[in-house]
Amino acid sequence: MRFLFVHGTGVRREGYDPLFELVARELTERSPAADVVPCYWGDDHGVTLAAGGASIPGFAGLPTASADPARVPAEAPADRVDGGWTLLLVDPLCELRVLAELPAEDEAFGAPGVRTPGEVVAGLLAELAGSPAAGGAAEAGELEELLAATVLAPRFAAALDRLAAAEEFAQACDRAFEPAAGAELTAATARALTAELLTLAGPAALCTADERDRLVLLLTDRLGGAARGPLGRAAGVLGRLGMRLGGQRLLERHRGALTAGATPALGDILRYQARGGPLRAFLADRIAAAPGPTVVIGHSLGGIALVDCLALAAARGEAPAGLRLLVTVGSQAPFLHELGALNGLEPGAALPAGFPAWLNVYDPGDVLGYRAAPVFPGDPRVTDHEVSSRQPFPYCHSAYFKLPALYDRIAAALDGAAPAAGPEPAGPVAAAPVAAAPPAVPRTGHAGDARAAG
């Protein structure tokens, strides 16, 4: 069985390669004979700012590799994600800023040469500089493995530098004299460092909520503490920070960086809508490149282009031979069809004869993922399947590929089975496939899975 993996909008080579390796590993674990084939199109069919951003008012030019990335506020359903992380991913220093602004406790008299809890945390953070394995702790190996698995390792040194240099961190350390304040500072520092890592990586981070939380715990241990609960004092006043996160002046000041940072993702979509023919032709050639049973997997814009490509081919009576299954992941194709904006289908049209079986996987927290079955009612070829990484947007848009439920559902579809709809499991376990409902009625499967893969 050949599997063709088509990436989504904004992805370039450095992001595609680790993602493809992950997808290939998961598919071959379930089917050792699987031939997983890359289908990278970002360089040839993606966009760049041809004039270097000259059209953006007040923008001096594209940011360098060392510049701070744009941080775009993210929203996700409150019942599916930790609201505190939504705020941390907008402002990684928010909890430390609260601790820095709270009145300092009375300084305790200690023995000469004995460091305060705040000084201990600052020292341990400095020991992490350069390598997460510094200090030789037993958890160091797991921390390094987790950073590599989430594609966060290349950002570790930069995240440490940003946190260590932050005035908020220094001030919070200066106010931590008592052990309780030290434990609170340790937890806040671990969360801030994790948030810095995620914001530096952006949507390219392959990280589920469970992996994120485990990363916080490992960093907490490395920083000398074992605090696991919420930050009581900080949580009580975090609402005040909302006033600092918006405003017209902030928007104007960061407009250039925000625009340049959003260009690959937004620009790829706009370019495809205006001039999508070359990308569809490229996909058709890749699908037809080898005979035999084939599964095509398209993420985001890759799913849109595949739906268009296959619908146009089927309408011409040229459906690819051997195509067993189309899988779209976090795709906007159903929504575009509702708008009458798909290139491959007339507004309101049904899927043509010859269109393959279609498994559409979405996360309700992903604002770029949509349901397909209700848009094509009565079509037994179309099935939706719901998963959840419990990450806020935009991180959930890439976290699909860390969920075992995705690959289990693909395997079930190829076996002719489908998991039944039902409530999301309370813990991080994959839903086991069960017998399918009668095929004449399309339905939505549901399996929440926030486990780390591998």
- Is there a single domain that holds both residue 331 and residue 434? yes
The half-sphere exposure of 76 on its side-chain side, counting CA atoms within 13 A, is 29
* Domain annotation covers residue 26: yes
Final residue in a domain of this structure, among 189, 215, 244 = 244
The sign one gets for the Cα dihedral 377, 272, 298, 295 is: positive
Statement to judge: residues 6 and 130 lie in one domain: no
Cα 244 from chain centre: 25
- CA proximity to 121, closest of 197, 195, 178, 82: 178
* Residue 137 pLDDT: 52
Same domain, 23 and 134: no
Whether 329 and 198 share a structural domain = no
- 334 domain residue, yes or no: yes
**CB neighbour burial string for 375-407, b if at least 16 within 10 angstroms, e if fewer:** bbeebebbbbbbbbbbbbbbbbbbbbbbbbbbb
Same domain, 145 and 281: no
Residue identified by tokens 């775009």 is: 72
- 5, 23 in Cβ contact below 8 A? yes
Select from 244, 269, 297 the last residue of a domain: 244
- Tell whether 276 and 388 lie within a shared domain: yes
**23 and 156 fall within a common domain:** no
Tens-of-pLDDT digits for all 454 residues of the chain? 899 898 886 677 888 888 899 899 999 998 888 899 898 887 777 645 445 544 544 544 544 433 333 333 333 333 444 557 777 888 888 888 888 877 655 555 445 566 788 888 888 888 887 566 555 555 668 888 999 989 898 899 999 999 999 988 998 888 888 888 888 888 899 999 999 999 888 878 888 888 999 999 999 988 887 544 444 555 444 444 444 444 444 444 444 444 444 444 566 677 787 788 889 999 999 998 887 899 999 999 899 999 999 999 999 998 888 899 999 999 999 998 988 888 889 988 999 999 999 999 999 988 889 999 999 999 999 999 999 988 888 888 888 999 999 999 999 999 874 433 332 333 333 333 323 333 333 344 444 443 333 3
Same domain, 283 and 352: yes
Task: Look at residue 282 and tell me if it is in a domain.
Answer: yes
pLDDT score recorded for residue 46? 65
What is the DSSP secondary structure assignment for residue 178, as one 8-state letter?
Answer: S
Domain for residue 62, yes or no?
A: no
Q: Domain total for the chain?
A: 2
* Same domain (yes/no): 135, 234: yes
pLDDT at res. 409 = 94
In this prediction, residue 424 carries a pLDDT of 35
Q: Which helix (H) or strand (E) holds 324?
A: strand 323-329
Residues 314 and 414 in one domain: yes
pLDDT per residue as tens digits for the range 349-382: 999 999 999 999 999 988 889 999 999 999 999 9
Residues 96 and 150 both lie in one domain: yes
pLDDT per residue as tens digits for the range 280-303? 999 999 998 887 899 999 999 899
Residues 314 and 439 in one domain: yes
- What's the maximum distance between 2 C-alpha atoms anywhere in the chain? 85
Boundary of a domain, candidates 181, 215, 244: 244
With 0-12 CB in 10 A as exposed, 13-18 as middle and 19+ as buried, what is 258?
middle
Residue 42: CATH number of its domain:
3.40.50.1820
Does residue 310 lie in a domain region?
yes
408 part of a folded domain? yes
pLDDT for res 48: 58
Helix (H) or strand (E) holding 283, with range, is: helix 277-287
The answer to the question of residue 209 being in a domain is yes
Q: Tell me if 292 is assigned to some domain.
A: yes
- What is the reported pLDDT for 112? 55
Boundaries of domain holding 120? 91-244
